[in-house]
Chain A
């Protein structure tokens, strides 16, 4: 398959001009295609697979079935949704320079 493909897009002229100007300011006159390509690549969640491979080896086999997901997932003692809430609040506190009192989260005893 050819690596590069010339294509045509129908875009709002003001949006395109502003994009070109921004690219020109930072990347030069011939970088518009490369920047559009980066934006399109940025939509692909496949990048998370590559990122996760840096931490854990990629498992063999195909995609998990619905039942496999439900059978193999761990049941947790804590509240996973609260981890997300704490994360968002902590992030906000860091930005605002505040120190919120951290809720004590129980650790599971090692067996």
Chain B
């Protein structure tokens, strides 16, 4: 899962329902989720920026940040979530993607992490990233545009 999908679970917006369904199935043990450790900082940064932009109150930001970190630890402890370390080999494998698709290093890391896991699907709410992931041979699904396909995973 890309950070753009994970963040929907903690700051509700369009597509949150599809991400919720993934978490429910993960906790029930029917699927396993995974994301890079990098994404934890990115999601927390999105919460902090939402607060700075006054989209949410400081209290809501504090609550969303803790909820995200605590739920991440919970489902990881259940074996339903794998947090993948940011390894040098994953960063190196992302380099060709920077040239082929004009991606940033964190974008590339999302794709190489997904490939390394040999995951069934790559979930991202970012159109540019899903296009690149598809071109790289991944089954890239958006929580907004591909909600039905996500249900069938």
Task: Please give the number of chain A residues whose Cβ is less than 8 angstroms from any Cβ of chain B in the complex.
Answer: 41
Q: Contact between A77 and B55 (Cβ–Cβ < 8 Å)?
A: yes
Most buried by B among A63, A70, A75, A76: A76
Distance from A7 Cβ to chain B, minimum over Cβ atoms (Å): 19
Distance between A21 CB and nearest chain B CB, rounded to angstroms = 16
Q: How far is the CB of A88 from chain B (nearest CB, A)?
A: 4
**Does A46 contact B9, Cβ atoms closer than 8 Å?**
no
- Asked if B7 CB lies within 8 Å of chain A CBs, one says yes
Among residues of A, the one whose C-beta sits closest to the C-beta of B45 is A87
The reply to whether the CB of B149 lies closer than 8 angstroms to some CB of chain A is no
Q: Is the CB of B126 within 8 A of A45?
A: no
- The total of interchain contacts (Cβ-Cβ below 8 angstroms) comes to 136
Contact A56 B67, beta carbon cutoff 8 Å: no
A49 to B53: give the CA distance in the assembly, Å. Answer: 24
- How far apart sit A69 and B20, CA to CA, in the bound complex (Å)? 9
Within 8 A of A (CB), among B34-53: 37, 40-46, 49-50, 53
Residue of A nearest to B58 (CB): A56
A-contact bits for B69-86, CB 8 A (1 contact / 0 none): 111111010000001010
Interface locus among B10-18, B113-121, B133-141? B10-18
A49 CA / B107 CA spacing, docked (Å): 25
A49 partner residues in chain B, CB cutoff 8 A: 69-70, 73
Residue from the list A64, A77, A83, A91 in contact with B49, Cβ < 8 A: A83
User: Are A80 and B11 in contact, with the CB atoms below 8 A?
Assistant: yes
**A residues with CB within 8 A of B:** 42-43, 45-46, 48-49, 52, 55-56, 58-59, 63-64, 66, 68-70, 72-81, 83-85, 87-89, 91-92, 105-110
The 5 closest A-B pairs by CB, nearest first: A81-B4, A63-B74, A81-B125, A74-B60, A108-B54
